[in-house]
Amino acid sequence: MSETCIKISSSETLFSSLNEIFDNDIVRNGDTILLESDVEVMEPLVIQKRRFTIDLNQHTLYMSTTKGLRVKGGANVTFVNGRISTILDNTSEGVLIVQGSGTVVTIGSDLILNASEAYLNVRKRGHLNIDGAFVISTGSSPTVLVEDSGSQFSISQGNVLSQSTSAIEVRNSGSVLIRGGKIGSSNADMPLIFSPDLEASDVQISGGFLR
């Protein structure tokens, strides 16, 4: 059975296509959504159900909403080949929220995520993987926040960088696995990985470069 490729050329097309995916089960596991131009998301975008790839096709997905992009409900989504960027200076919940048991997001090769004041938020047993992406926060928030027990952040290759504070913050017995890649911060006074209770958190480092 061949895979489906849905082409997206505008924010309206993005929303309608995702609604069709979830409401009518049009996209099968393993299919791809392909951007044909830059897309600006001006209202909260929620992705749930299915395992598929969003190929930005060297375009930019602009997040200009304070609710960010939420992936939940057991979805398994991979973002590749382009840029995800925030336009607003403050995103209260994070530019990308990964939540819920069984929910997995992979930020893959040739993708740049500029979180600005926002961050990547992993919570409620969600899993976030960095596999080749370049992720940076330029504001006062950590680049990645792992909020609670059962939630996991991992990196095998790529970069997770902060310009002003810790690159990763772990709370409430969250889990961090660093197998490769680079974790860095421009602020030498801040720890690269911060936790209010580091002993209760599960932080494992088996590779990579921390600076």
pLDDT in tens, 156-206: 999 999 988 899 999 999 999 999 999 999 988 989 999 988 777 899 999
Strands (E) across 9-118 are located at: 31-35, 39-41, 45-48, 51-63, 69-72, 76-86, 96-99, 104-107, 111-114
For 15, the enclosing helix (H) or strand (E) is helix 11-24
Phi, psi of 14 (to 5 degrees): -60, -50
Confidence (pLDDT) at 45? 81
Q: What is the pLDDT of residues 134-157, one digit of tens each?
A: 998 887 888 999 999 999 999 999
Please give the residue that has the higher pLDDT: either 18 or 129.
129
Per DSSP (E only), the strands in 88-167 are 96-99, 104-107, 111-114, 120-123, 127-137, 144-146, 152-162
- Stronger pLDDT, 22 or 99, i.e. the higher one: 99
pLDDT tens-digit readout, 82-140: 998 876 655 567 788 899 998 999 998 877 887 666 688 999 999 999 999 999 888 78
Question: Phi and psi at residue 10, in whole multiples of 5°?
Answer: -160, 165
Q: What is the pTM of this model?
A: 0.90
pLDDT at 77: 93
Range from 3-12, 48-57, 129-138, 144-153 carrying the lowest mean pLDDT: 3-12
Confidence band for 1, pLDDT divided at 50, 70 and 90 = very low
Higher per-residue pLDDT: 39 or 126: 126
Contact in structure between 101 and 127 (CB atoms under 8 Å): no
Could you tell me the pLDDT band of residue 26, with boundaries at 50, 70 and 90?
low
Mean pLDDT of 18-30: 67
Mean pLDDT across 38-60: 86
d(C-alpha 172, C-alpha 198), whole Å? 9
Which residue do the tokens 């992720």 mark? 135
